[in-house]
């Protein structure tokens, strides 16, 4: 493990080379490794440090009040885990965090994080930007979930990603179905119908909008 990998992480990568040594010296960090299947954090654990996943990947799961398990997302290194919750009034992990393979995590105690946020503008900006992007991501997901039909969700997803008439899906259809909260065959069926109706073309995660008006109508119908 190389602690300098920390500077590949979104919230740290804009820290100038010249400031990195003093940044590390001010951190009071510690490192930990996890085997596949290990719990890195459990839902309701207090978040008392910033967790930076340096290598490996994790899944997050939420156990609902009724006791069922909901898969939330897969996070690949290098990424912070639940950075917003370090400062929440209810500063507890909202999810279980489970290693999908061997993982390395660096822990930055809250005190160190506060100190660095106050003294290092690049870190402050990186931290704020990451949390802001997260808010954007969650807002978009709410917008999608609010749309009642699967074709409507698909149409909104395509419109939000379109550059001119072209679009790319950054995730595969299984992941997209999970993101929409629907079953994969239902997604595939809706997508096929949109191809048949010549509203879009789509192949290998890339596509073109053929009928923009029809696509926009799907969002509201």
Q: Does 164 bind a second copy (CB under 8 A)?
A: no
Q: Does 118 bind a second copy (CB under 8 A)?
A: yes
Helix (H, G, I), strand (E, B) or coil at 198: coil
Q: Does 67 bind a second copy (CB under 8 A)?
A: yes
The first and second tokens of residue 136, run together, are: 């954007």
Q: Counting beta carbons within 10 angstroms of the beta carbon of residue 95, is it exposed (0 to 12), middle (13 to 18) or buried (19 or more)?
A: buried
Q: Which stretch binds a second copy (CB under 8 A): 12-20, 52-60, 143-151, 202-210?
A: 143-151
d(CA 31, CA 3): 8
Q: SS3 string of 16-38?
A: CHHHHHHHHHCCCCEEEEECCCC
Q: Does 74 bind a second copy (CB under 8 A)?
A: no
d(CA 123, CA 131): 12
- 33/134 with CB nearer a second copy: 134
Q: Which stretch binds a second copy (CB under 8 A): 17-25, 100-108, 129-137, 198-206?
A: 129-137
- Least distance to a second copy, CB of residue 176, Å: 15
C-alpha distance from residue 142 to each of 85, 87, 147 (Å): 19, 23, 9
Q: Does 138 bind a second copy (CB under 8 A)?
A: yes
The first and second tokens of residue 79, run together, are: 């990424």
According to CB under 8 A, which residues from 76 to 95 bind a second copy?
84-91, 94
Nearest Cα residue to 86 out of 39, 26, 128, 120: 128
- Least distance to a second copy, CB of residue 101, Å: 26
| 3, 74, 183, 220: residue in contact with a second copy (rule CB under 8 A) | 220
List contacts with a second copy (CB under 8 A): 62, 64-68, 70, 84-91, 94, 114, 117-119, 121, 124-125, 128-129, 131-136, 138-139, 141-143, 145-146, 155-156, 159-160, 181, 216-220
């Amino acid at each position: 493990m190389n602690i300098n990998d920390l500077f590949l992480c979104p919230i740290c990568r804009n820290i100038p080379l010249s400031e990195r040594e003093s940044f590390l010296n001010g951190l009071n960090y510690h490192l930990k490794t996890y085997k596949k299947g290990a719990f890195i954090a459990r839902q309701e654990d207090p978040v008392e440090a910033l967790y930076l996943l340096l290598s490996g990947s994790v899944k997050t799961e939420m156990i609902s009040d009724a006791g069922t398990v909901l898969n939330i997302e897969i996070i690949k290194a290098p990424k912070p885990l639940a950075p917003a919750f370090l400062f929440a009034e209810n500063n507890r992990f909202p999810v279980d965090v489970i290693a999908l393979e061997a993982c390395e995590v660096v822990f930055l105690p809250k005190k160190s994080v506060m100190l660095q946020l106050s003294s290092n503008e690049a870190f402050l900006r990186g931290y704020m930007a990451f949390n802001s992007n997260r808010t954007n991501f969650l807002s978009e997901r709410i917008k999608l979930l609010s749309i009642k039909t699967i074709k409507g969700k698909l149409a909104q997803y395509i419109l939000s990603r379109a550059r001119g008439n072209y679009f790319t899906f950054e995730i595969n259809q299984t992941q997209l179905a999970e993101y929409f909260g629907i079953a994969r065959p239902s997604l595939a069926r809706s997508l096929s119908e949109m191809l048949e109706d010549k509203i879009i073309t789509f192949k290998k995660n890339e596509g073109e909008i053929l009928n923009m008006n029809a696509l926009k109508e799907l969002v509201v119908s």
